[in-house]
Amino acid sequence: LTYEILLTMEGEKKQPGLYLLEHLNLDVEDQESAEDFYCKFLGCMRVASRPREATLHSNCGYLTQFHTGDKMKRSQQWRGEIEIVYSSAGLQEVQNRLKRMIKQGLKISTKDRHNRNSNRFEKEEISHRRDISVIGPNGNTFFLREANDSQSAFFENPRNGYRKFSKGSLPLGISSITV
C-alpha cells in the first residue's frame, strides 16, 4: 500500500469553492482500507450507529461527511481534488500520524502538486508544512491544509449545525472540491 504525497510551495493560495458540501459519496472496493484512510489517517469519526456491513459514514468535522459504499468492482475516483481543512493542532496530528506510518513501513513518494515529475521536496518536509496533498488508496486526491480564520469560525460554530458522532474529529470539514 502506497500513499503519494504531493507538496506545494508554502502559502500557495486557492480560490474558494462551494459554501458547504455536506456529503461526498465515494464507492470503494474495500471498506476496511476506507476506514483506515478516512478515520485512522485523516482523523474523521466513524458513525458508530451504522452497522459495519453498511456503507461507512465518516464525519469530517461537525458539518460534513464521507459516505463510502463498498463491494464495488472498482473504486470510484473523483476527477479533481477534495480539500479538507484542519485546525493547526489537527493538521499537526495528521502529520504525526503520517510520520508514524512511514516508520511502520508505509511507502510514500513526495511530489510537487503541479509537476508530478519533480522530486523537489524531501520527505522530511512533511512534518512542518501547513498543507499536504495525499493520493489515497483508491486514487483520490485530498488537499489537507490549515483552515483560515473565517473557515474555522464557520466550521466550529455549533449554531451552524452539529452531526452526532462527530466529537473528536480532527478535520474541521470538507472545504471545497474541484472537478
pLDDT value, residue 58: 94
The stretch 155-164 carries a mean pLDDT of 85
pLDDT value, residue 64: 92
pLDDT value, residue 133: 83
Q: What is the mean pLDDT of the chain?
A: 80
Tens-place pLDDT, residues 101-133: 878 877 666 555 555 555 544 555 565 667 888
pLDDT value, residue 7: 57
> 10 Å Cβ neighbour count for 163?
18
Check residue 139 and give left, alpha or beta (phi > 0: left; psi -120 to 50: alpha).
left
Nearest to 147 by CA among 46, 64, 39: 64
Task: Give 27's pLDDT tier (boundaries 50, 70, 90).
Answer: confident
Tens-place pLDDT, residues 65-82: 998 887 767 788 888 889
Percent of the chain with pLDDT strictly greater than 90: 27
Mean pLDDT is lowest, of 70-79, 91-100, 122-131, 138-147, for 122-131
pLDDT value, residue 26: 87
Q: In this predicted model, which residue has the larger pLDDT, 11 or 27?
A: 27
The stretch 168-179 carries a mean pLDDT of 90
pLDDT value, residue 113: 58
Please give the grid coordinates belonging to residue 27: 464507492
Predicted confidence (pLDDT) at residue 39 exceeds the cutoff of 90: yes
Please give the grid coordinates belonging to residue 134: 495525499
How much is the CA Rg of the chain, to the nearest whole Å? 15
CA distance 55 to 41: 19
